[in-house]
Amino acid sequence: EAFYSFNRPHGAFNGKTPYKALREKL
C-alpha cells in the first residue's frame, strides 16, 4: 500500500493516496 502510494503519486487525489482512490473507484 505504502509502496504504491510513493511509487505513483498523483495530485488529482488531493490528500488521498492513489491506492485508496483506486479502491473507491472499483
**Domains in the chain, number:** 1
pTM for the full predicted model: 0.25
Task: State which residues form the domain around 22.
Answer: 1-26
Q: What is the CA radius of gyration of the chain?
A: 8
Residues ≥6 apart with Cβ < 8 Å to 13: 20, 21
| Model pLDDT, residue 14 | 56
pLDDT digits (tens, 9 = 90+) for 1-26: 555 555 555 555 555 566 676 777 66
